[in-house]
Structure 1
Amino acid sequence: MASANDPFQFQEFEEAGNLLEANRDATTISIEDEDVKPEKQRRAAGLNPAAGGGDDEDAGDYDDKTELLSGQQKSPPFWTFEYYQQFFDIETHHVKERIIGSVLPWPGKNFIQVYLRRNPDLYGPFWICTTLVFAIAISGNISNFLVHLGKPNYKYTPEFQKVTIAATAIFSYAWLVPFALWGVLLWRNNKTMNLVSYSFMEIICVYGYSLSIYIPAVVLWIFPFEWLRWCSIVVALCLSGSVLVMTFWPAVRDDHPKVIVAIMSAVVLFNILLAVGCKTYFFSKPEPALPANNSSVAVVIKTTSTT
């Protein structure tokens, strides 16, 4: 029989609480499996070592998260849908503020610096141009109907080709003119280093929102009064041209005087050509009414010409 003080005799250990209570100065050592801590660290980092064959994919996901959190996420190429998707991600109140800012320009306020804040969008310009296209086509058809209303030989036929022509004119102005202006400003910026530079999307955004004033003006063109039409054209040209001039003036004011005059004149001239061209093509001029005493003479002339 083993003695009571036999050191090799199996003894049951007491509870850890009793042992610590007996000796509070004792040093405790926590022994952990070597594989547990690295696994916890890998799980905290977002990696799952249990997934077989997925180390490369997990590493790629970890790199993407790291780039996104550090603000170094790569921008998608411009020919992809994801690149243009960011320009349609805008709040409604921002679009409202930009429309109001384009309709009511204030001296000394640059539209890009005040309203865009380096965050241009294509949502507002696209729907403004689309609304203006249908407004011109519909108002033009209604205006022609009112002008020829009451004539016995007139038969109304809707002119759907006006939608295509209006779309070609409006979207060409809203895209091609900004593209040409962006190229010229980029060329002059390489020549003169201290010029203010705008991106292509910012210029398109300015031109798109500058067309919003023409929508109510086109609606007024329905009424067959030339004085009303020309008054609305003048008001729309002044407001729209003011937005363009005040926006692009800081980009050219330090350039050569001849270049300044050429660029600003081209900006204003294309704006005038768009407004006057749409009014002339889509809206017929009211025909003057014949005097009552000459009505019989006109009937006689028409009869003899047909025979």
Structure 2
Amino acid sequence: MFILSRYGPFWICTTLIFVAAAIGTFVTYVAHKLQHKEWEYDITLVTWSAGLFYGYATIVPLLLYIILKYFSAPSGMVQLFCLYGYSLFIFIPALCLSVVPVEIFRWVIAGVAGFISATFVALNLRNHIVSAGESWFIIVAGIFVLQLALSLALKLYLFTVTV
């Protein structure tokens, strides 16, 4: 069971890529058809979301691992990859809810998803971060800012419909 759980972050990121592309395509298709405009598929949704999700789930845990090692805080690289991968799960239902054509609702969904994801990471790293000494607040603030930045990037690129 433990070995299988290490594949979860990969599959969550992969699912996010296809859900983001499918939902983004569907929403823009419907918006174009309602306004009787011609619609063309945008392949960049797939490549952009792949770079964003795989890059985020790889680079951020790696940087956090280096930072925690610098402060002599106990952490494992595989655990951090898993933690960040699983923290992205909340964005799957958030992307599905982005179909609702109310812009304020999309902002709220993106913000709530980012906050839940940031809280999940911070609470699971609490013991590691506290052992980092006085710098724990900077590390927690960095975790929150990065998770909220991801949420903002998703809102601006994937949760927005332009016709």
Q: Same fold (TM over 0.5)?
A: yes
Q: TM-score, normalised by structure 1?
A: 0.50
Question: Taking CA–CA contacts closer than 8 Å with sequence separation of 6 or more, which of the two structures ends up with the larger relative contact order?
Answer: 2
Aligned to 2:23: 139
Question: What amino acid is aligned across from residue 235 of structure 1 in structure 2?
Answer: V
1:127 partnered with 2:14: no
Provide the C-alpha distance between the structure 1 equivalents of 2:50 and 2:7, rounded to a whole number of angstroms.
Answer: 17
Aligned to 1:242: 119
1:156 partnered with 2:39: yes
Provide the C-alpha distance between the structure 2 equivalents of 1:221 and 1:131, rounded to a whole number of angstroms.
Answer: 16
1:271 partnered with 2:147: yes
Provide the C-alpha distance between the structure 2 equivalents of 1:145 and 1:205, rounded to a whole number of angstroms.
Answer: 35
Provide the C-alpha distance between the structure 1 equivalents of 2:141 and 2:32, rounded to a whole number of angstroms.
Answer: 38
Question: What amino acid is aligned across from residue 43 of structure 2 in structure 1?
Answer: F
State the 1:266 CA deviation.
1.2
State the 1:284 CA deviation.
2.9
Specify which structure has the higher proportion of helix.
2
Aligned to 1:101: none
Moved >3 Å (runs of 4+): none
Provide the C-alpha distance between the structure 2 equivalents of 1:212 and 1:246, rounded to a whole number of angstroms.
Answer: 16
* Matched ranges for 1:196-215 at <5 A: 197-215=74-92
Q: CA RMSD in A?
A: 2.0
- The answer to whether the Cα contact below 8 Å between 1:146 and 1:224 also exists between their aligned partners in 2 is no
Question: What amino acid is aligned across from residue 230 of structure 1 in structure 2?
Answer: W
Query: 1:46-97 CA deviation, whole Å, 9 max, x = no partner?
Result: xxxxxxxxxxxxxxxxxxxxxxxxxxxxxxxxxxxxxxxx97x42xxxxxxx
Provide the C-alpha distance between the structure 2 equivalents of 1:150 and 1:207, rounded to a whole number of angstroms.
Answer: 38
State the 1:147 CA deviation.
2.5
Question: What amino acid is aligned across from residue 42 of structure 2 in structure 1?
Answer: E
Equivalent residue for 2:102, pick from 225, 228, 240: 225
Q: How many residues align?
A: 163
Aligned to 1:148, the other structure's residue is in SS state helix
State the 1:143 CA deviation.
1.5
- The answer to whether the Cα contact below 8 Å between 1:144 and 1:283 also exists between their aligned partners in 2 is no
Aligned to 1:175: 58
Question: What amino acid is aligned across from residue 139 of structure 1 in structure 2?
Answer: I
Distance 1:157 1:263, change over 3 A: same
- The answer to whether the Cα contact below 8 Å between 1:226 and 1:285 also exists between their aligned partners in 2 is no
State the 1:286 CA deviation.
6.4
Query: 1:104-151 CA deviation, whole Å, 9 max, x = no partner?
Result: xxxxxxxxxxxxxxxxx4311111000001111111111122233333
- The answer to whether the Cα contact below 8 Å between 1:237 and 1:275 also exists between their aligned partners in 2 is yes
State the 1:253 CA deviation.
1.4
State the 1:283 CA deviation.
3.3
State the 1:187 CA deviation.
1.2
Q: Which has the larger radius of gyration?
A: 1
User: Equivalent pairs: percent with the same residue?
Assistant: 29
State the 1:237 CA deviation.
2.1
Provide the C-alpha distance between the structure 2 equivalents of 1:235 and 1:169, rounded to a whole number of angstroms.
Answer: 19
- The answer to whether the Cα contact below 8 Å between 2:114 and 2:150 also exists between their aligned partners in 1 is no
Provide the C-alpha distance between the structure 2 equivalents of 1:261 and 1:147, rounded to a whole number of angstroms.
Answer: 43
Aligned to 1:183, the other structure's residue is in SS state helix
Distance 1:283 1:255, change over 3 A: closer
Gaps of 5+ in 2: none
- The answer to whether the Cα contact below 8 Å between 2:61 and 2:84 also exists between their aligned partners in 1 is yes
